[in-house]
Amino acid sequence: MWLRLFMNILALDTCTESCSAALISANQIYTRIADAPREHSQRLLPMVDEVLQDAEITIADVQLIAYGRGPGSFTGIRICTSMTQGLALGQDIPVIGISTLATMAQMAINTHEATDIFCSIDARMNEVYWAQYKNVAGIATLIGEEHVSSPDDVSLQFNQGANIIACGTGFDAYPQLLTLVNKITLSNTVKYPDASAMIALAQAGFNDNQHTNVDELAPVYLRDTVTWKKLPGRE
């Protein structure tokens, strides 16, 4: 069983326009989320304080911090990793990086009971971040690799006849992605990652020994170098 009972896990994400924090304590999940693309650095720590207060614990009681490792906004990824470092270093808390795309896939499983999921985030510069997932015992499991590519170069490996849930901002920017396979449905409720969905992935990853100490924290940009295009109100 992947769930470790009574483990206190804090989850943080600022990799997209959405900013969120979540905490599981005594098997109760506490969460905060805001669509505030230019206020992540101001919003995240107060959210952390609020969920800790809701659970009536302190950061010293947290046993694992899950952080949004990307892909997504370069600035957002840096904010998330730096805040994770600050929180984890003081208490020597182990950390685990959770993919932004996997988080959305987990949300699709939690919300829609999805079995096959296609996640895509608008990467700007006429590209998308994308990946495919399957529901394996309730956990979003990556098929192949995460990618960044032109929408025209997206190539899917789903079995014919699968009912696929699509989620993320990539489909708003490039609706042609919805025509790549049959039986694909765009989720109206899963567009950005929510830290509360990271908790199941973090628990599963912890039991598979995927956690590290904070010195080994590893953001994932998918792009090595880029001239970032900033749009009004977005990072």
Label residues 207-220 b or e (16+ Cβ within 10 Å = b): eeeebeebeebebb
What is the arithmetic mean of pLDDT over 82-106? Answer: 96
Q: What is the pLDDT of residue 36?
A: 83
Structural contact between residues 187 and 165, judged by C-beta atoms closer than 8 angstroms:
yes
Sheet holding 28-35, edge to edge: 28-35, 18-25, 9-13, 64-70, 95-99
pLDDT at 231 over 60: no
Tokens of 72: 């997504």
Which whole-number Å values give the CA distances from 198 to 98, 125, 149, in the listed order? 7, 28, 25
Note the residue count of the chain: 235
Q: What is the pLDDT of residue 2?
A: 42
Structural contact between residues 53 and 60, judged by C-beta atoms closer than 8 angstroms:
no
Tokens 């015992």 map to which residue? 137
Q: What is the pLDDT of residue 226?
A: 45
What is the arithmetic mean of pLDDT over 119-137? Answer: 97
Percent of the chain with pLDDT over 90: 84
User: What is the helix, strand, coil percentage profile of the chain, to 5?
Assistant: 35, 30, 40
What is the arithmetic mean of pLDDT over 119-124? Answer: 96
Q: What is the pLDDT of residue 161?
A: 79
Q: pLDDT (tens digit, 9 = 90+) per residue, 162-203?
A: 899 999 999 999 999 999 988 999 999 999 999 999 999 999
Q: What is the pLDDT of residue 162?
A: 85
Full set of structural domains in the chain with CATH: 9-100+192-216 (3.30.420.40), 101-186 (3.30.420.40)
Q: Specify the higher pLDDT residue, 76 or 224.
A: 76
Q: What is the mean pLDDT of the chain?
A: 91
Q: What is the pLDDT of residue 122?
A: 97
What is the arithmetic mean of pLDDT over 201-217? Answer: 94
pLDDT at 111 over 90: yes
Q: pLDDT (tens digit, 9 = 90+) per residue, 34-82?
A: 998 788 999 999 999 999 999 999 999 999 999 999 999 999 999 999 9
d(CA 91, CA 23): 17
Tokens 């990946």 map to which residue? 131
Query: Could you tell me which of 47, 50, 4, 57 has the C-alpha nearest to residue 27?
Result: 4
DSSP assignment letter at 99: E
